[in-house]
Amino acid sequence: MRCAEEHPALETARDDFDHPWKEIIELFFSGFMAFFFPEAHADIDWERGAEFLDKELQYAIGVAGGGSPSVDKLVKVWRRNGAETWLLAHVEVQNQALADFPWRVHVYHSAIFAHFRCCVVTLVILGDARRGWRPHSSEYGAWGGRSLLEFPIAKLLDYEDRWEELEASGNPFAPVVMAHLKTIATQGDPQSRYEWKIRILRWLHREGLDLQDFRNLFRFIDWLMRLPVELDERCIADIRRYEEETNMPWMSPFEQRTFDRGIAHGSLQAAREAVIEAVHLRFPNAAATLDEAVMELDDAALLRELLRKAITATSLEEFEQALPSLSVVR
């Protein structure tokens, strides 16, 4: 049973939350564990790395009975105890308060164990807007038999009163939590979201991060904290002014050129050309048929979204998935 009536904002925003969370966990997994589950982080042998098992997870979930409305990641890690053993960290990011969530976690946990026959630890991030919803276990049984699953949780709403702590943290998941919380808080208030987005991005810029780390976090914040067209243009203009004031560019030259030729300042033809240029600069192996598909588009809003996707996508396949005429390019 869904509890959407208690937090309607997330009911419409879930899809916008899922993809960026999946990406950011994989990009900064060590930081993720250190931020939310420090004891577990300290027990992992990070010199041996971490292996993401997305295909295996999807297989196990499929056997268990279908897909999941939350962010699921399955990661193979090694412990520091020196034993030749490893465990699976099953990570869930749940952005909706659902009555059957603990049961689903129990089912998936059991399915993963059945598939791998090794220790599985389920870790849960609760990103919903219902403060009192804190599921941490699931059990069933009868006649003296009992099956119990307990899982550690981290509730993102708990960080609302710890903003100074977030700003003082050097962990990449501090701005992730900031953006998530303010995306929830500003549902239906684009002006406030614009102000918070600028504030978080400026704070991020001052942290002196590695360029690639900065761009990955920039992409997460930009993706999550979406704005109406007019405020989005103002946000870009503010970014450019801040670049000039600090003499520290946020975007590469081709990204700046692409934004300069943005949809708001040109014709549909200019917009199509801007998307195509961005795609080929990011992905030189893009097929000519993809250009043809873009040139057929007449929707300015869609072209604007494709322009953003061309800049932020981590792969050509990810960009193609956002293109309606997918059959044309494959």
For 273-299, the pLDDT digits (tens) are: 888 888 887 888 888 888 888 898 888
Among the candidates 158, 177, 206, a domain finishes at 158
Encoding tokens for residue 316? 């050509």
Instruction: Return the structure tokens found at 284.
Output: 């030189």
- 7 neighbors 188 (Cβ within 8 angstroms): no
User: Taking 90 as the threshold, does the pLDDT of residue 322 lie above it?
Assistant: no
Question: Tokens standing for 22?
Answer: 């999946």
- pLDDT given for residue 204 in this prediction: 84
pLDDT reported for residue 66: 54
Q: Which two tokens stand for residue 258?
A: 């692409």
Are the C-beta atoms of residues 194 and 234 closer than 8 Å to each other?
yes
Predicted confidence at residue 65, as pLDDT, reads 62
Within this chain, do residues 18 and 147 fall inside the same structural domain, yes or no? yes
**Domain final position from 158, 179, 214:** 158
Ordered strands of the 153-155 beta sheet: 51-52, 71-78, 86-94, 120-126, 153-155
Q: Which residue has the tokens 């962010």?
A: 71
142 and 277 in a single domain? The answer is no
Q: Which pLDDT value is given to residue 61?
A: 75
Percent of the chain's residues with pLDDT above 90: 31
Distances (CA, A) of 43 to 40, 81, 87, 119, 260: 5, 8, 11, 14, 48
Q: What is the pLDDT of the chain when averaged over all its residues?
A: 81
* Secondary structure of residue 128 in the 3-state scheme: coil
The pLDDT tens digits of the residues spanning 176-228 come to 999 999 999 999 999 999 999 999 988 888 777 777 788 788 888 888 898 88
- Quick: pLDDT tens for 70-102: 568 899 999 888 665 678 888 888 888 888 889
For residue 13, tell me if it sits in a domain.
yes
The boundaries of the domain holding residue 112 are 4-158
Position 238 in a domain: no
* pLDDT greater than 80 at residue 262: no
Collapsing DSSP states into helix, strand and coil, what is residue 285? coil
Q: Please indicate, yes or no, whether residues 48 and 153 belong to a single structural domain of this protein.
A: yes
Q: Domain for residue 117, yes or no?
A: yes
pLDDT of residue 2: 30
Q: Judge whether 15 lies within some domain.
A: yes
Could you tell me if 218 and 194 are in contact, meaning their C-beta atoms sit under 8 angstroms apart? Answer: no
- Does pLDDT of 241 surpass 50? yes
Report whether 65 contacts 97 (CB < 8 A).
no
- Distance CA(29)–CA(52), nearest Å, equals 10
pLDDT of residue 88: 84
In a domain, 184, yes or no: no
Report whether 329 contacts 318 (CB < 8 A).
no
326 beta partners: none
Domain assignment present for residue 225? The answer is no
Total structural domains within the chain: 2
Phi, psi of 73 (to 5 degrees): -135, 135
Among 105, 124, 158, the domain boundary falls at: 158
12 and 153, same domain (yes or no): yes
> Cα–Cα distance between 248 and 246 in angstroms, integer?
5
The residue whose two tokens read 């979204």 is: 305
Contact call for residues 53 and 89 (beta carbons, < 8 A): no
Q: Which residues pair with 148 in a beta bridge?
A: 139
Residue type, 300: A
